[in-house]
């Protein structure tokens, strides 16, 4: 699919839970994407585009989930239905799928695995979605019906405790042949260790500050262990989805 | 039909809109957004003798009106460049300049020789990367050393020899003058300004800090770049390629007015990946609509008092 710059009209832009927002963008001509891929949003008067994972693509709407963290996401949160957003994309690789898929999202990291769950359901593959949040108010309520197991750190919603423990429990119970995770590095690292112990294929979606989004500037690279060779990989082009062993197997992810 | 080509001595470009080293990859990375064949010239990412890993995380940070980078010359090395990237540039008829960086004069000579042997027509000496510990910038701040370097490369390279100057000096015209005397065919100015970006966030009672020290680029450096180009224009006769914060067609005209013969688009490629191609079309339309038949006519009009 050819990458392009789009000016898309906002259909909805609503707070989904404390600092998480969901934005729906109209794509009348349809834009092809796969779970794991991202778009780069232009913020007026800022130099760097913001890479944001696609949370759903219905054919006529692209949905993104974002967390308000700084100037860029603050700007996005202030936009209304009818406003336009400039985005470039679609960029990056996508998740490989298995027969029995365990999907784990922590916080805003829910976006790409939620998308994957929806796509897997369409083709009738077995998929369980686990999500972890800090507390009840952070949980994006409109997404919770699609989440199979949920935890909050303080137990105010779903099970009490870390999403890491919840994932470890369901790895044993569900015995998937494929695990996909997106969230903070520590969450991805711990769960991928559990996956490695059970010898289950595990993929992680990495985040990085990006310059060009097309693999040209080498600003977003991480170190990966590629069959024993430690080398740089551009998150924007070779990723954002990586085989967890390549990222954490070498114990040097950054 | 206006003639946009640049023909100044050995500097031969399809048009004056080029893309700057380090921002545009090696060849066709941006082709979904801009057809590289229509650009005046792509300057490759800096290439060294051996492959380089570059610096550790974190490599980039956004600042007011720009960004800081500390990539540290990560690149695949001249051997792989010649084997994997050069054939694509040649097959596609892309106008290009190979940017080379070394840790010693011998390394620059070796790189330039390899370019000569492989029929490369234009090289740009990177003597201004602020992000590596040895070499590079050391050659760009002392006019005697720079002069020796340019002389040595001149001996082995017959094509267009461009020297990319750093703004991190007291008097850029002294360095420009030594390059001209030593046989450079053109100068490009400026490389990034030395800078530091700091981002602070208070999370659970603790400050999370991001600090990146490296090269400052983007819209904020345009006044410094225009100043460097004007000063160089007064001091030298060889062509000047202006670089620094170009984000619009009007910026391009400002650089022409300051004395540039061509320009390179850098950080703006990150913000607007289609900008380089758009600027080529805008220049074409502007010249057509206003009756400028050649670039010299346009530049003449801009520089008339």
The DSSP element (H or E) to which A126 belongs, if any, is strand A126-133
Owner of token pair 């079309």: B281
| Chain A contact for B168 (CB, 8 A cutoff) | no
Q: Nearest to residue B10, comparing CAs of B160, B204, B115, B217?
A: B160
Q: Going along B48-154, which residue ranges are E strands?
A: 60-63, 66-69, 96-100, 122-126
Q: Which residues of B touch A222 (CB under 8 A)?
A: 57
Helical H segments across chain A, by residue range: 71-77, 110-122, 163-174, 185-197, 244-248
- Evaluate whether A92 touches A57 at the Cβ level (below 8 Å): no
Under the banding of pLDDT at 50, 70 and 90, the label for residue B281 is very high
Q: Which residues of A touch B219 (CB under 8 A)?
A: 47
| B129 catalytic residue (yes or no) | yes
* pLDDT tens for each residue of B112-127: 999 999 999 999 999 9
Under the banding of pLDDT at 50, 70 and 90, the label for residue B131 is low
Is the pLDDT at B31 greater than 90, yes or no?
A: yes
| Chain B contact for A233 (CB, 8 A cutoff) | no
Give the mean model confidence (pLDDT) for residues B48-67.
Answer: 94
- The pLDDT of residue B39 is 98
- Evaluate whether B257 touches B240 at the Cβ level (below 8 Å): no
Judged by CB atoms closer than 8 Å, whether chains meet at A214 and B25 is answered as yes
- The pLDDT of residue B128 is 78
Q: Which residues of A touch B272 (CB under 8 A)?
A: 5, 42
- Find the residue in B nearest to A42 (Cα): B271
| Chain A contact for B51 (CB, 8 A cutoff) | no
**Burial per residue of B85-112, b for 16 or more beta-carbon CB atoms within 10 angstroms, e otherwise:** bbeebeeeebbbbbbbbbbebebbbbbb
> For residues A248 and A206, what is the distance between their CA atoms, to the nearest angstrom?
11
Tell me how close the Cα of B294 comes to any Cα of chain A, in angstroms: 32
- Evaluate whether A10 touches A75 at the Cβ level (below 8 Å): no
Domains with residue ranges and CATH for chain A: 4-91 (2.40.30.10), 95-204 (3.40.50.80), 206-254 (2.10.240)
Q: Which residues of A touch B65 (CB under 8 A)?
A: 47
- Residue of B95, B115, B129, B160 marked active site: B129
Strand partners, A177: none
Is the pLDDT at A251 greater than 80, yes or no?
A: no
Give me the total of CB pairs closer than 8 Å, taking one residue from chain A and one from chain B: 99
Judged by CB atoms closer than 8 Å, whether chains meet at A48 and B67 is answered as yes
Three-state DSSP class for residue A6: strand
Under the banding of pLDDT at 50, 70 and 90, the label for residue B139 is confident
Owner of token pair 């001149």: B154
- Evaluate whether B6 touches B40 at the Cβ level (below 8 Å): yes
Structure tokens at B107: 């390394």
A4-17 and A84-91 as β-strands: parallel, antiparallel, unpaired? Answer: antiparallel
- The pLDDT of residue B134 is 64
* pLDDT tens for each residue of B182-232: 999 999 999 999 999 999 988 889 999 999 999 999 999 999 999 999 999
Three-state DSSP class for residue A101: strand
* pLDDT tens for each residue of A13-42: 999 999 999 999 999 999 999 999 999 999
* pLDDT tens for each residue of A108-121: 999 999 999 999 99
Average pLDDT across chain A, whole number: 94
Structure tokens at A187: 């969450």
Give the mean model confidence (pLDDT) for residues A124-145.
Answer: 94
Is the pLDDT at B37 greater than 90, yes or no?
A: yes
- Evaluate whether A209 touches A113 at the Cβ level (below 8 Å): no
Under the banding of pLDDT at 50, 70 and 90, the label for residue B138 is confident
Average pLDDT across chain B, whole number: 95
Domains with residue ranges and CATH for chain B: 6-55+72-194+216-303 (3.20.20.70)
- Evaluate whether B277 touches B271 at the Cβ level (below 8 Å): no
A61-67 and A50-57 as β-strands: parallel, antiparallel, unpaired? Answer: antiparallel
The ipTM (two decimal places) reads 0.94
Tell me how close the Cα of B291 comes to any Cα of chain A, in angstroms: 32
Q: How far is CA A150 from the centre of its chain?
A: 17
Residues 63-92 of A with CB under 8 A from B: 69-70, 88
Tell me how close the Cα of A63 comes to any Cα of chain B, in angstroms: 22
């Amino acid at each position: 699919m050819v990458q392009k710059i789009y000016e898309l009209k906002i259909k909805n832009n609503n707070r989904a839970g404390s600092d998480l927002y969901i934005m729906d963008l109209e794509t009348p001509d349809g834009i092809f994407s796969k779970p794991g891929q991202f778009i780069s949003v232009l913020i007026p008067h800022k130099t760097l585009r913001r890479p944001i994972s696609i949370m759903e693509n219905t054919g006529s709407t692209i949905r993104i989930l974002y967390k308000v963290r700084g100037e860029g996401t603050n700007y996005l949160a202030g936009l209304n239905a009818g406003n336009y957003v400039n985005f470039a994309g679609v960029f990056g690789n996508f998740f490989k799928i298995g027969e029995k898929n365990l999907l784990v999202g922590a916080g805003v990291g829910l976006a790409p695995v939620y998308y994957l769950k929806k796509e897997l359901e369409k083709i009738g593959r077995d998929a369980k979605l686990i999500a972890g949040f800090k507390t009840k108010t952070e949980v994006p309520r409109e997404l919770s019906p699609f989440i199979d197991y949920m935890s909050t750190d303080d137990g105010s919603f779903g099970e009490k405790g870390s999403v890491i423990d919840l994932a470890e429990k369901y790895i044993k119970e569900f015995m998937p042949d494929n695990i996909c995770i997106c969230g903070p590095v520590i969450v991805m690292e711990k769960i991928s260790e559990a996956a490695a112990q059970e010898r289950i294929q595990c993929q992680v979606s990495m985040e990085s500050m990006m310059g060009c989004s097309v693999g040209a500037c080498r600003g977003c690279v991480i170190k990966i262990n590629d069959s024993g060779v430690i080398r740089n990989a551009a998150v924007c082009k070779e990723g954002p989805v990586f085989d967890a062993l390549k990222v954490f197997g070498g114990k040097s992810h950054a | 039909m206006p003639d946009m080509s640049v023909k100044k001595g050995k500097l031969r470009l399809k048009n004056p809109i080029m893309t700057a080293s380090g921002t545009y990859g090696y060849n066709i990375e941006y082709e979904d957004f801009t057809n590289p064949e229509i650009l005046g010239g792509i300057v490759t990412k800096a290439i060294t003798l051996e492959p380089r890993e570059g610096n550790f995380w974190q490599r980039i940070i956004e600042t007011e009106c720009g960004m800081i980078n500390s990539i540290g010359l990560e690149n695949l090395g001249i051997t792989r460049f010649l084997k994997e990237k050069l054939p694509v540039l040649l097959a596609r008829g892309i106008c290009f300049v190979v940017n080379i960086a070394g840790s010693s004069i011998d390394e620059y000579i070796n790189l330039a020789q390899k370019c000569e042997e492989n029929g490369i027509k234009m090289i740009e000496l990177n003597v201004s990367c602020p992000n590596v510990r040895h070499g590079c910038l050391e050659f760009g701040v002392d006019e005697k050393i720079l002069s020796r370097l340019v002389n040595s490369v001149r001996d082995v390279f017959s094509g267009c020899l461009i020297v990319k100057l750093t703004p991190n000096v007291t008097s850029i015209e002294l360095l420009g003058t030594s390059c001209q005397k030593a046989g450079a065919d053109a100068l490009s100015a400026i490389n990034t300004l030395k800078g530091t970006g700091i981002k602070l966030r208070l999370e659970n009672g603790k400050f999370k800090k991001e600090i990146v020290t490296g090269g400052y680029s983007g819209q904020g450096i345009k006044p410094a770049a225009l100043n460097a180009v004007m000063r160089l224009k007064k001091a030298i006769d060889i062509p000047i390629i202006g670089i620094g914060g170009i984000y619009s067609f009007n910026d391009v005209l400002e650089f022409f007015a300051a004395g540039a013969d061509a320009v390179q688009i850098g950080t703006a490629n990150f913000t607007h990946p289609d900008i380089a191609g758009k600027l080529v079309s805008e220049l074409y339309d502007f010249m057509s609509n206003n009756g400028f038949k050649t670039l010299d006519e346009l530049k003449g009009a801009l520089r008339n008092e």
